[in-house]
Chains A and B, each alone.
Chain A
């Protein structure tokens, strides 16, 4: 099957909209052929995950775009980079990597991208609308946009997210098309541990569906109707770490799943998964690599970036004795301003909290981790930190993380 080009696509290729856009379109053509797309569609926005410095090739690519006079054609947000540009003193990695990381972030700004530097662009003014066709990178953001908002994106990554931004076009395939968004796996939550809050349920379910659903879109039945947006964020991030999930439905909660039949698009599921309270306990337990009572080196929160609502939940938990280990919280610049406006920053710092913006402690060298494990309330952080940082991890609820920080060891509530 051949790829059909619109008059605008031909203009882009011919260089009528600049040499940068032509370069991006050439690459998009190859990509479209590789995924067997028939044509391109317009996109409203892009989220580019190209700011993390992984080697010279990432920087050379963006500098090539700049030398060709490239500019993004749609509103484009940026994912986290390797350094906190507002608190550069926090960076503890090799000097050259820090410098190239900062250079890569600034090069993206010159292309016209917005300095959001967050893995949670859905928490910013750039949040897309229901049904919007977009090209997003970063697995948790992709999953959130598709599932919680009902915008439409595939899992774009490395170079291609930026090519979509530079052309305003994306190949029409996968989750851009309604017929591919129907659930083909049904996950029935039959019981939930009595003492669990909704956040912990969400992380455990997310971790399970990532491992069990493969490439199938899951519809989850049996989550409480008051499951919050932050719970869904945690669920999607966990699922997109332990597996390749890019879209999930929660019946009665997410926008494309008012009921199970609609979520499944009238099709019979390929897989039905029954989940009990014991399964959830086991999933949560498997996210910890240390036993209860193990000594802690630090607590890490905000993977994906901590929302204002999460800070509001945290503030009362910090009242009381000062924690014995450092607490690191990743958030966006926009959320940092909100915290400052509320006068929370001083209270957080007084409680031993280090606020990190523009990046995330699990992808770069910031934390001074001595002896002991890192505790987190994030399924994603628990999944990746051992490999990325070479640390032991403990997973627990937000309240457990704070109680453990106070005790200096893993405490269960």
Chain B
């Protein structure tokens, strides 16, 4: 039997795998993420001190701030960024940060738009494999 697969929309192409990390509240990368360590440093965030490095970061929504792309790109440059990012709403800040890291440093961080109905199952997986091809993305679970 093949592993469960979920369809998603590709925002930034790439292939990556890692353990899921679901954010309980939106996070601003600017001022909220230490790009050197990958730690969440926003003192008001419920997941403060959790490390995003190498995880498949599940963000229901961004914070809507115009800053943050540079912090994400810097974290990816330093190898302290997430392996991939899954969103439920389109977020330009996240997309731009991931694209710049790929263009400048060849650091792949696929970004995909998942479906709300799949969110719980994705968050519960031990490990996710994100394959974001231009056009369509697929997320498979390793239980």
Assuming A56-B77, A160-B96, is B66 touching A215 (CB within 8 A)?
Answer: no
Distance in Å from the Cβ of A218 to the closest Cβ of chain B?
A: 16
Chain B residues with Cβ below 8 Å from A34 are 11, 90-92, 94-96
Residue among B31, B35, B93, B103 making CB contact with A158, cutoff 8 Å:
B93
Give the complex CA separation of A36 and B91 in angstroms: 10
Chain A residues closer than 8 Å to B68, beta-carbon distance: 157-158
* Residues of chain B having any CB pair with chain A under 8 Å: 11-12, 30-31, 35, 64-71, 73-74, 77, 90-97, 99-101, 103-105
What is the interface of chain B mostly: helix, strand, loop, or mixed? helix
Q: Give, as a whole number of angstroms, the nearest-CB distance from B7 to chain A.
A: 18
Look across to chain A and name the residue whose beta carbon is closest to the beta carbon of B97: A158
Taking a contact as CB atoms under 8 Å apart, the answer to whether A35 and B100 are in contact is no
Most buried by B among A36, A139, A158, A160: A158
CB contacts (< 8 Å) of A160 on chain B: these are 69, 92, 96
CB of B77 within 8 A of CB of A57, answer yes
- Interchain Cβ contacts under 8 Å between A and B, 28 examples: A23-B103, A26-B103, A27-B99, A30-B11, A30-B99, A33-B95, A34-B90, A34-B96, A36-B90, A54-B70, A54-B74, A55-B71, A58-B70, A60-B77, A155-B64, A155-B65, A155-B66, A156-B66, A157-B65, A157-B69, A158-B69, A158-B70, A158-B93, A158-B96, A159-B69, A159-B70, A244-B64, A244-B65
B26 to chain A, nearest CB (A): 12
Of A23, A26, A35, A56, which one neighbours B92 at CB under 8 angstroms? A35
Question: Which residues in A have their C-beta under 8 angstroms from that of B93?
Answer: 157-158
- Give the residues from 44 to 94 in chain A that come closer than 8 angstroms, CB to CB, to chain B: 49, 54-58, 60-61, 64
Please give me the 3 A-B residue pairs with the lowest Cβ-Cβ distance, nearest first.
Answer: A157-B66, A158-B69, A55-B74
In the complex, A142 Cα to B90 Cα: how many Å? 22
Interface readout for A242-271 with B: 1 if CB under 8 Å, 0 if not? 001000000000000000000000000000
